[in-house]
């Protein structure tokens, strides 16, 4: 009964948006004759929406769990309804009595109402979790706090594992997905966790997760070892040997002993150390005293900023909705489906965040399993979208959800986010940030870290407006290094005692991307 109700609700919402668009088009001067002329188009909208919404399945999504692909599906469905309504009305009376600009206004209001209703419902559901987010400010983010697992097998033991993890290790285990036993499970959800494939695809699934920034620490097998086929056993054991991923059988050991974290002992601090050693942050750390942390976390500006972020993101989605649809269509034609790419990165308080972008590159691996270089993967359209920052548009939905902000430190990959710069996790990551407008890709990671920490300490409405305006200049003119801003950040952080270096080393560390 719930799904038909949601379908009818969506149809009512779109019809209401159509009526409001008509009233606005007529400048609030409505006559009986104009209403009679408008009635066929309204009826066509209702009929088209019933058919297209049912086919698109927009009513099958649970609103409080909506994600970016769900919003894009709704936007596409609304666009199809508008086209269908125009076609039906044109075939009936050649659009007599229907203003030619009405479909465009209807499209904008329809997307705003249907997507906005879902976003608001999700925001209400997530409000309690977001209120707790400020408590995460004061907890240092560490890659050792969480272990990412891949669960092999779907049975009652799978549900038991999820329940035990929630009760015995809250926040310590993150499930990246499940491996099913056959194709019919692929794409379905088990306790909100996706089934990514079967055991024959396990190695390619691990490769894909790596591309998305997800490193698997453990593979938890909930099936008895003797129930696995010979090829499945060999695949699991080969992965354990070649990738240094811990293989755990639930029947033998539930695996909730965190005496020595697997992230370092098993997948090797060597890999982690090698990555962080390339970041240039071995000798630099940023330390903010606890009392200063609490003062920063409880600033009233964060609530004001959240209001502006939501309003700006919602307005941008409404205004740019036609461009979003065109971009999605171009991506589909250029690199194929899916049109969205995501990577897991540390967000507010170090919590995992999915960073969505329009795809600008083809698959990371060729059909024969060879890893392709970025130059081989990127498309000409992808290069243009990156240059104009169009690929970042889907992150506007993350801003509405509260996972991101319009302005803030850009989220890093998990191996780039070191303990030395955990202070940048005090605020929501942004679509653009101080480091991006001061130098972007042309400055060192030391400089970026200093600029991000400086922003956390000095964030204000005027600074956010300046960053937004300078972002426009970066898009138009390209990235340029502002040495003065970099020097000021290092100087201010040094004077406040936030920057720490071993005894006997000199300050400043890096200026304009060059060590001095």
**Percent of the chain predicted with pLDDT > 70:** 83
Q: What is the mean pLDDT of the chain?
A: 80
**Residues 382-409 pLDDT 10s:** 888 888 888 899 999 999 989 999 999 9
Give the whole-angstrom CA distance, residue 473 versus residue 365. Answer: 36
**Residues 34-54 pLDDT 10s:** 888 899 999 999 999 999 998
Residue scoring higher pLDDT (504 or 310): 310
| pLDDT confidence tier of residue 262, bands split at 50, 70 and 90 | very low
Give the whole-angstrom CA distance, residue 413 versus residue 424. Answer: 13
pLDDT at 270: 36
Task: Give the pLDDT mean for 149-162.
Answer: 85
Residue scoring higher pLDDT (26 or 136): 26
Give the whole-angstrom CA distance, residue 510 versus residue 516. Answer: 6
pLDDT at 432: 94
Tell me the range of 139-148, 161-170, 188-197, 267-276 where mean pLDDT is highest. 188-197
**Percent of the chain predicted with pLDDT > 90:** 28
| pLDDT confidence tier of residue 84, bands split at 50, 70 and 90 | very high
Task: Give the pLDDT mean for 69-74.
Answer: 90
Beta-strand runs (E) in 298-425: 340-346, 352-358, 405-407
Answer yes or no: is pLDDT of 104 > 90. yes
pLDDT at 253: 61
DSSP secondary structure letter of residue 62: -
Give the whole-angstrom CA distance, residue 308 versus residue 302. Answer: 10
Answer yes or no: is pLDDT of 446 > 90. no
Residue scoring higher pLDDT (212 or 16): 16
**Residues 310-325 pLDDT 10s:** 999 999 999 988 888 8
| pLDDT confidence tier of residue 87, bands split at 50, 70 and 90 | very high
User: How many Cβ atoms sit within 10 Å of the Cβ of residue 15?
Assistant: 17
For residues 120 and 112, the answer to whether their CB atoms sit within 8 Å is no
Give the whole-angstrom CA distance, residue 141 versus residue 25. Answer: 52
DSSP secondary structure letter of residue 338: -
The structure tokens listed for 323 are: 């461009």
pLDDT at 500: 62
Residue scoring higher pLDDT (469 or 274): 469
DSSP secondary structure letter of residue 176: E
Q: Where are the alpha helices (DSSP H) in 249-300?
A: 262-265, 269-277, 290-297
Residue scoring higher pLDDT (514 or 487): 487
| pLDDT confidence tier of residue 467, bands split at 50, 70 and 90 | very high
pLDDT at 356: 92
Cα atoms in the 13 Å half-sphere on the side-chain side of 86: 15
Task: Give the pLDDT mean for 407-417.
Answer: 83
pTM above 0.85? Answer: no
Beta-bridged to residue 405, according to DSSP, are 430
Give the whole-angstrom CA distance, residue 96 versus residue 92. Answer: 9
Task: Give the pLDDT mean for 178-190.
Answer: 79
pLDDT at 420: 64
pLDDT at 293: 76
pLDDT at 284: 63
Q: Which fold has domain 147-260?
A: Rossmann fold (3.40.50)
pLDDT at 254: 47
pLDDT at 227: 75
For residues 77 and 53, the answer to whether their CB atoms sit within 8 Å is yes
pLDDT at 248: 84
Residue scoring higher pLDDT (315 or 365): 315
Beta-bridged to residue 430, according to DSSP, are 405
For residues 116 and 314, the answer to whether their CB atoms sit within 8 Å is yes
Beta-strand runs (E) in 294-423: 340-346, 352-358, 405-407
Q: Where are the domains of the chain?
A: 2-131, 147-260, 285-515
**Residues 209-223 pLDDT 10s:** 888 888 888 999 988
Give the whole-angstrom CA distance, residue 307 versus residue 277. Answer: 39
Answer yes or no: is pLDDT of 280 > 60. no
């Amino acid at each position: 009964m719930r799904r038909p109700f949601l379908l009818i609700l969506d149809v009512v919402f779109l019809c209401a948006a159509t009526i409001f668009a008509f009233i606005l088009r007529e400048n609030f001067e409505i006559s009986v004759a104009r209403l009679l002329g408008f009635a066929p188009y309204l009826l066509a909208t209702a009929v088209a929406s019933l058919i297209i919404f049912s086919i698109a399945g927009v009513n099958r999504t649970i609103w409080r769990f909506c994600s970016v692909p769900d919003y894009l599906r709704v936007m596409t469905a609304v666009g199809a309804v508008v086209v269908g309504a125009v076609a039906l009305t044109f075939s009936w009376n050649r659009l007599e009595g229907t203003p030619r600009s009405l479909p465009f206004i209807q499209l904008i209001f329809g997307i705003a109402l249907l997507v906005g209703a879902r976003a608001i419902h999700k925001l209400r559901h997530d409000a309690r979790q977001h209120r707790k987010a400020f408590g995460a400010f004061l907890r240092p983010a560490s890659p050792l706090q969480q272990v990412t697992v891949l669960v092999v097998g779907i049975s009652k033991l799978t549900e038991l594992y999820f329940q035990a993890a929630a009760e015995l290790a809250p926040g310590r285990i993150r499930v990246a997905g499940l491996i099913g036993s056959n194709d019919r499970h692929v794409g379905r959800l088990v306790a909100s966790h996706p089934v990514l494939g079967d055991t024959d695809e396990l190695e390619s699934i691990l490769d894909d997760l790596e591309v998305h920034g997800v490193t698997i620490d453990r593979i938890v097998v909930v099936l008895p070892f003797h129930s696995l086929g010979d090829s499945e056993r060999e695949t699991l054991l080969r992965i354990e040997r070649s990738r240094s991923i811990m293989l755990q059988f639930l029947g033998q050991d539930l695996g909730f002993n965190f005496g020595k974290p697997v992230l370092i002992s098993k997948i090797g601090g060597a890999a982690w150390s090698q990555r962080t050693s390339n970041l240039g942050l071995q000798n630099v750390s940023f330390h903010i005293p606890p009392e200063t942390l609490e003062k920063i976390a409880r600033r009233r500006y964060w609530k004001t900023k959240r209001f502006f972020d939501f309003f700006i993101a919602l307005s941008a989605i409404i205004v740019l909705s036609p461009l979003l649809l065109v971009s999605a269509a171009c991506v589909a034609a250029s690199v194929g489906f899916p049109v969205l790419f995501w990577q897991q990165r540390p967000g507010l308080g170090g919590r995992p965040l999915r960073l969505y972008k329009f795809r600008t590159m083809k698959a990371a691996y060729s059909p024969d399993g060879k890893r392709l270089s970025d130059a081989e993967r990127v498309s000409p359209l992808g290069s243009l979208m990156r240059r104009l920052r169009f690929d970042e548009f889907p992150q506007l939905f993350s801003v509405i959800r509260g996972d991101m902000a319009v302005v803030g430190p850009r989220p890093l990959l998990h191996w780039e986010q070191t303990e030395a710069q955990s202070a940048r996790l005090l605020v929501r990551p942004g679509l653009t940030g101080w480091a991006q407008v001061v130098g972007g890709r042309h400055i060192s990671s030391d400089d970026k870290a200093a600029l991000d920490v400086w922003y956390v300490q000095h964030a204000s409405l005027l600074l956010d407006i300046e960053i937004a305006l300078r972002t426009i200049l970066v898009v138009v003119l390209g990235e340029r290094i502002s040495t003065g801003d970099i020097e000021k950040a290092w100087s201010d952080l040094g004077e406040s005692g936030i920057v720490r270096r071993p005894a006997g080393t000199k300050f400043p560390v890096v200026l304009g991307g060059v060590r001095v």
